[in-house]
Amino acid sequence: MASSIALSSGMRQSLAALQLITDQQETQQLRLATGKKVNSAIDNPVSYFTASGLSNRASDLSSLLDNIGQATKVLEAADKGIQALTKLVESAQGAARQALQSSSTTNKITGTDGDLTGSTLLTSAAAGTFTATKVLKVNGTAVLTVTGTSTVQDLIDGINNNTTLNPTSGPKKVQASLEGGNIKIEGLDGASLAVTTDDAASTLTGLFGASTTLSLGAATTNTTRKDLATQFDSLRTQMDQLAADSSYNGVNLLNGDSMKVQFNEQNTASISISGVKFNSAGLGASAATNTWQSDKDINDALTNLTASLTKLRNQASTFGANLSVVQTRQDFTKNLINTLQTGSDSLVLADQNEEAAKLVTLNTRQQLANTALSLANQSQQGVLRLF
């Protein structure tokens, strides 16, 4: 068995110093190369695992930040859609107001006496003294069978609520009202209009006035109103198309879609945003009825459009509040990620100037250690002089 080589105490000390310096040089070189003073759990377990936890959370939040950013774009797309829809609704209002400036040509049977109220009995002298059990008709359709307690308002309701004259599934054709003490019956669809009774003809004369014409032929179509009604319906089509196009990344808050935005990695903080159906039907902008030949149909359209604008403005406010929340959380998440990354870096990053100075110092010590080892070896070389 070969014996081990014995080294002097001085040489062993110098060699140990060189080995230690070499290890320290490797450590300093690694720190300079990576920029970190803690590269593994061996370097500093507490700092290493704390920094890893902070970095992992920052990474999780960075993934969420992308989703939050996409959510803001969805809300911005919806807001742009609402702005455009508002302009279309305002254009539709303009068409309706322009139509009102053109005179209506619908048939109207209007009384002339001016002394009726809703509670006036049809069997009274003021209404022409109708006979009980007799029937009043409009365009041949029975609207009221007179009783001893029937009133002018009963006649008006009988006309307006008659499903033959005014189908529940379509536009109304006849509208009755009491204006200035007189009954007014208007044919909304431009068709012929006639009021008859199986009672004595004098009863109708007493109800409406002797000078009132109770039978009118088909009305002349107002082409201006008809064209504007067509324009209005075209704008409704544009509303439908615009609402359908207000999507971002497959989410359309104006077409009934909803969205949930997650704000933290545990999903304990989030906001749910409900979408709306803002096509023309959802906004309540119904199609032009009876080609807008009557003022009533145009005024009904204007009422609906005013309600549509209210819906749009209220929803814009709601989406604006949602967007504010999402943007606030987006800014907060960005700042939190920076804080986490800064905290993580402060635990593991090295001071490059300090590490470089240490390496230079170690290089100098290595040279001195080599010199010390050489001096320790000189005592061994003195033996050679004896030979």
Q: How far apart are CA 16 and CA 23, in angstroms?
A: 11
Q: How far apart are CA 85 and CA 281, in angstroms?
A: 13
Q: What is the pLDDT of residue 264?
A: 87
Q: What is the pLDDT of residue 357?
A: 74
Q: What is the mean pLDDT of residues 162-190?
A: 92
Q: 350: closest CA among 52, 57, 39?
A: 39
Q: Which residue has the tokens 């006496």?
A: 113
Q: How far apart are CA 243 and CA 139, in angstroms?
A: 42
Q: How far apart are CA 68 and CA 323, in angstroms?
A: 10
Instruction: Judge whether residue 6 has pLDDT over 70.
Output: no
The percent of residues in the chain predicted with pLDDT above 90, rounded, is 57
What does the mean pLDDT of the chain come to? 86
Which of the following CATH numbers is that of domain 108-219: 2.30.30, 3.90.550, 3.40.50, 3.30.70?
3.30.70
Q: Which tokens belong to 271? A: 């906001």
| Dihedral angle sign, alpha carbons of residues 279, 281, 285, 286 | positive
Instruction: Judge whether residue 157 has pLDDT over 70.
Output: yes
Instruction: Judge whether residue 30 has pLDDT over 90.
Output: no
Taking only Cα atoms into account, the Rg of the chain, rounded to an integer number of angstroms, comes to 46
Q: What is the pLDDT of residue 170?
A: 82
Q: Sketch the domain layout of the chain as residue ranges.
A: 59-101+224-341, 108-219
Lowest mean pLDDT among 46-50, 145-149, 210-214, 215-219: 46-50
Q: CATH classification of 59-101+224-341 is 1.20.1330.10, yes or no?
A: yes
Q: What is the pLDDT of residue 8?
A: 60
Instruction: Judge whether residue 237 has pLDDT over 90.
Output: yes
Entry pTM: 0.75
Q: What is the pLDDT of residue 138?
A: 95
Instruction: Judge whether residue 39 has pLDDT over 90.
Output: no
Please spell the DSSP secondary structure of 11-75, one letter per residue: HHHHHHHHHHHHHHHHHHHHHHHHSBS--STTT-HHHHHHHHHHHHHHHHHHHHHHHHHHHHHHH
